[in-house]
Structure 1
Amino acid sequence: MVSDDLELVLSWRNHAEVRRYMYTQHEITLKEHTEWFERATLDTSRHLLVFELKETPVGFVNIREIAPGGIADWGFYAAPEAPRGTGQKLGKAALQYAFCQAGLHKICGQAIAFNQRSIKFHLSQGFQQEGILRNQHFDGKQYHDVVCFGLLATDSTSNS
């Protein structure tokens, strides 16, 4: 991701169908987004990626190393207008990057329990469900469980 991608990625992030599954529910301003990007690009533990199909940007991936030994979290979303199947391709490419180029050992993911698409997505990418954080997320009205996933580099290579 480069600064020229900021407005496009922000438009995806603020789309109602993307935003509803995020921990942060408000519409993010360009100023907020730019400040986040400036901080994130200085952080060597972060990998900010724009996923393209046929040279057209269709998704965003944020991989952040959270512990020594190549343990990382990820977050991602496809553009709301992306063709069907984009998410699967984005996931495969991002995991290939994480394990082969970035040399990470494990990717951790989370999904708010009502986000069944994300839960199914993680499982389809080979992740193991590693736990449930009960009442972990408060959306301003009610508490939601958060489902935790993990995928090891060795799991990923055996599924390829």
Structure 2
Amino acid sequence: MTREDLEQVLSWRNDVEVRRYMYTQHEISLEEHTRWFERATLDSSRHLLVFESGAVPVGFINIHEIAPGGIADWGFYAAPDAPKGTGRRLGEAALQYAFGQAGLHKICGQAIAYNERSIKFHLNQGFHQEGILRQQHFDGQQYHDIVCFGLLASDRPANT
């Protein structure tokens, strides 16, 4: 991701269908987004990526190394108007990058329990459900469980 991608990524992030599955669901201003980007690009533990299909940007990936030994969290979203199947391809490319180029050992993911698509996505990518954080997220009105996932580099077939 570069500074030139900021407005595009922000428009995806602020789409109502993307926001509803985020921990912070308010509409983010360009100023707030720019401050986040400036901090994140100075942090060597972060990998900010724009996923492209046929040279067209169609998704965003944020990989954050959170512990020594190559342990990372990830977050991602496809553009709201991305073609069907983009999420799966984005996930495959992100994991290939994480375990190949970035040399990570484990990717951790989380999904708010009502985000059934994300839960299914993680399981289809080979993640193991590692737990549930009960009533971990408060959205301003009610509490929600968080489903936790993990995927080790050794869980992936050698050719991916």
8 Å contact 1:10–1:28 — kept in the other structure?
yes
Alignment of 1:60-79 (within 5 A): 60-79=60-79
Once the two structures are TM-superposed, the CA of residue 157 in structure 1 deviates from its matched residue by: 2.8
Equivalent in the alignment of 2:106: 106
Distance 1:156 1:79 in 2: 26
Alignment of 1:1-160 (within 5 A): 1-157=1-157, 160=160
The structure carrying a bigger helix percent of its residues is: 1
Distance 2:35 2:140 in 1: 25
Counterpart residue identity of residue 8, structure 2? L
Once the two structures are TM-superposed, the CA of residue 156 in structure 1 deviates from its matched residue by: 1.6
Counterpart residue identity of residue 39, structure 1? R
8 Å contact 1:126–1:159 — kept in the other structure?
no
**CA-atom RMSD, angstroms?**
0.9
Distance 1:12 1:159 in 2: 32
TM-score by length of 1: 0.99
| 3-state secondary structure, aligned to 1:126 | coil
Gaps of 5+ in 2: none
Identity %: 79
8 Å contact 1:131–1:149 — kept in the other structure?
yes
Distance 1:20 1:134 in 2: 19
Aligned length: 160
Gaps of 5+ in 1: none
| 3-state secondary structure, aligned to 1:101 | coil
Counterpart residue identity of residue 123, structure 2? L
TM-score by length of 2: 0.99
Once the two structures are TM-superposed, the CA of residue 159 in structure 1 deviates from its matched residue by: 8.0
| 3-state secondary structure, aligned to 2:100 | helix
Distance 2:151 2:138 in 1: 26
Distance 2:96 2:20 in 1: 28
